[in-house]
Amino acid sequence: MKKIGTWVALIIGLIVGAVLLNFTNLIDNVSQYLTSEKVKKTEPSFINGLAYLQSEASRKFDIDANTYSVYHNEIQRNEFLSDILLGCNVPYPIIDKSARKAADVFPVTKLRAGKPYTVLCDSTQRAAFFIYEPNPIDYVVFDLRDSVHVYTAARPVETRIKTASGTINSSLSLTMEQNGTNPQLSLDLSEIFAWTIDFFRIQKGDQYKVIYEEKYVDGQPVGIGQIHAAYFKYWGSDNYAFAFNQSTDETEEDLQYFDENGQSVRRAFLKAPLKYSRISSKFTRKRFHPVLKRYKAHLGTDYAASTGTPILAVGAGTVINRAYGRGNGRFVKIRHNSIYTTQYLHMSKFAKGIHVGARVRQGQVIGYVGSTGLATGPHLCFRFWKNGKQVNPLREKMPPAHPIKPELADDYCVYQDSMKLVLDAVELPIEEEFLEEAETDTDTTNVRETSEP
C-alpha cells in the first residue's frame, strides 16, 4: 500500500507540474502576443472611426495635425453635427456658435449621410477641428479652437485630356461602363445631344467618340470636366458637337456646342422631358386604354419611370395651367410661344415655384413622376401642341437655336477643323462579337499570316 501511495503521489506531482508548466507557457505566449507588433499597430477607435496617419491629414487638409489625434468616419443616417461634436467633448454653446457661423459658408443642414468627415482631437480628446468632405475635391473646415472659424477649401486638381469611344450594345451608360469609362460621361454626353438625339431610342450599332477632361486628386479620378468635342452616330446619321466660347470678352465665358456647320446643337425643345426612363406608349390615334378598357386616341407619349423622377420643361416658356384633373391627375401646361405648347400629366407633386404665370427655363424641373389620375402605374404622359393641334413630338423637326456669331465664324472654322481631325482619328474598340465572327470566318493559316510582322 505504501508503494501504491508513493506512485499516486508521484503521478499527481507530475500532473500538477505539467499543468503549471503549460500555464507558465500560456502566460509567456500571452505576454509575447501583447507586446507583438500586431498589437502595437492597433490604435483605439474613437466615435466609431478609424485613426490614421497625422501626416496624411496634414497633407490632405493643409492643417498641421502633428499634435492632434486624427480620426475618420462617415456621417450616419439621421446624424447631426451636434451628435458628432457632443461625442467629441465639445460644449453645446461652441456647437451652436459654429453652426451659426457656418450658415453663410456651408449650412450644417447640408451634411449628408455617407459623406466622410475627419476629427482632429487635442490631448484631452476634445475636437479642435471638424472637417467635412461633400465631394472628393472640396472640404469644409470647422476650426473649434479659441475663436470659432468656418471656411471652405479645395484640394489641388490635375486635369487630363482623354478620349472614349464605343459601339452601343444596349444603352449608352452600360456600354461606357463595359468600356471602363466614368458613367458620368454618359450623362454629360446625353445632355449635349439632348436636343438632337432621343437617347430612349438609340439602337444597337450606334457609335460615339468623345474628347473630354477627367479630373484627378492624388492620382485618383474624381470626376469629369469639360467635353471638348463629341461624335454620335445615331440611326446612321453623323452628329458632331464642338465646344466653343462665343464671348468676345476675355473676362467672360459663353461656352456652347456647335456642329460642323457652325449651327448650335441646341434646339428650341429637348427631345424628351425625362433623363431616365423608357417610352411605354407612343402617340397613336387608337389605343386600348388600360383603365377605361376601351379603344380611344392616345395623343401623347408615355414615359415609364419610377415615382419621384424629376420632370423637365422641354423648352422655356410660361406656365398657363397647373391643376388636378380626374383623368390627367396633377398636370402642368406650358406655352412656349405662339406656336408650341406642352403638357405633363400624372405628376406625384409639383416642383417648388411652379404656378400659373411662372416663367420656366429649358431643362428646369417642373414636377415629379407619379400615377395620379387614370394611371395603372407611375409614368409621365407628355403632350405636344403645334398651332393648337396635338402632334407627335418624336416626328417633329424642332427649330434650332442661334448659330455661331458671324464675327467668330472664321475662328470657329479653324478650331472645328483641327478638333474634327482629332475626333475622327479616335479608334473604336473592336467588339467581342465581331471578333468571334471574324474567328469563325478565318482559317488558321490566315490568322498566322496576319499575326506575322
Residue 147 sits in a domain of what CATH number? 3.10.450.350
Residue of 55, 52, 184 lying closest to 117 (CA atoms): 52
The predicted-structure confidence for 268-297, as pLDDT tens digits, reads as follows: 788 889 886 666 565 454 544 455 455 455
Summarised one tens digit per residue, pLDDT across range 230-249 is 999 998 999 999 999 988 77
Domain CATH number, residue 350? 2.70.70.10
What's at 338, amino acid-wise?
A: S
Whole-Å CA distances, 93 to 104, 148, 279: 19, 11, 55
Do 106 and 62 share a structural domain? yes
State the burial class of residue 437 (Cβ atoms within 10 Å of its Cβ: 0-12, 13-18, 19+). Answer: exposed
Confidence check: pLDDT of 45 > 50: no
Domain end residue (candidates: 134, 154, 174): 154
Q: End of a domain among 100, 125, 154?
A: 154
Mean residue pLDDT of the chain comes to: 81
Three cell numbers written together for 89: 467633448
**Residue 272, domain member (yes or no):** no
Which single residue is written with the C-alpha cell 407633386? 349
Q: Which residue has the higher pLDDT, 401 or 389?
A: 389
Both 15 and 97 in a single domain? no
Report the C-alpha gap between 129 and 243 in whole angstroms: 42
If asked whether residues 134 and 189 sit together in one domain, one would say: no
Asked if residues 40 and 56 have their Cβ atoms less than 8 Å apart, the reply is no
Q: For residues 250 and 185, state if they share a domain.
A: yes
As a whole number of angstroms, the distance between CA 274 and CA 440 comes to 42
Would you state the cell numbers that stand for residue 278, as one nine-digit string? Answer: 423608357
Q: Distance between CA 274 and CA 196 in Å, rounded? A: 15
What is the C-alpha to C-alpha distance for residues 59 and 152, in angstroms, rounded to an integer?
A: 16
Termini Cα distance of the chain: 98
Q: What's the mean pLDDT in 420-427?
A: 95
**What percent of the chain has a predicted confidence (pLDDT) above 90?**
54
Please tell me the predicted confidence (pLDDT) of residue 277: 61
Domain with 134, as residue range(s), is 50-154
Radius of gyration for the chain, computed over Cα atoms and rounded to the nearest angstrom = 33
CB-based contact 176:117 (threshold 8 Å)? no
Higher pLDDT, 215 or 7: 215
Of 102, 134, 154, which closes a domain? 154
Closest by CA to 107, choosing from 84, 81, 83, is 81
Tell whether 165 and 111 lie within a shared domain.
no
* Same domain for 164 and 64: no
In a domain, 191, yes or no: yes
CA dist list (Å): 130 to 43, 46, 63, 121, 404: 20, 14, 12, 9, 49
Is there a single domain that holds both residue 417 and residue 445?
yes
All residues at 6 or more sequence positions from 182 whose CB lies less than 8 Å from its CB, including other chains = 176, 214, 221, 223, 224
Indicate the range of 37-46, 102-111, 249-258, 322-331 predicted with least confidence: 37-46
171 and 134 inside one domain: no
Give the per-residue pLDDT at 448.
30
> How many helices, marked H, and strands, marked E, lie in the chain?
10, 23
Residue 273 lies in a domain: no
**Does some domain include residue 45?**
no
Could you tell me which residues come within 8 angstroms of residue 119 by beta carbon, excluding any fewer than 6 positions away? 46, 47, 49, 70, 71, 72, 73, 84, 88, 127, 129, 130, 131
* 452 in any annotated domain: yes
Does residue 283 share a domain with residue 388?
Answer: yes
Shared domain check, 261 and 174:
yes
- Structure-model confidence comparison of residues 48 and 143, the more confident one: 143
Q: Is the residue at 44 inside a domain?
A: no
pLDDT tens-place string over residues 372-385: 998 888 999 899 98
406 and 263 within one domain: yes
- Determine the pLDDT at residue 352: 95
User: Is the residue at 291 inside a domain?
Assistant: yes
In a domain, 348, yes or no: yes
Residue 6's pLDDT is 53
Question: pLDDT tens for residues 294-322?
Answer: 545 567 888 888 999 999 999 888 999 99
Kindly provide the residue ranges of all beta strands, DSSP E only, lying in 218-315, ordered along the sequence: 220-234, 237-245, 255-258, 278-281, 284-288, 295-298, 301-304, 310-312
Per-residue pLDDT for 356 more than 80? yes
Looking at the structure of the chain, the number of domains it has is 4
pLDDT band at 33 (very low <50, low <70, confident <90, very high): very low
Do 178 and 222 fall within a single domain? Answer: yes
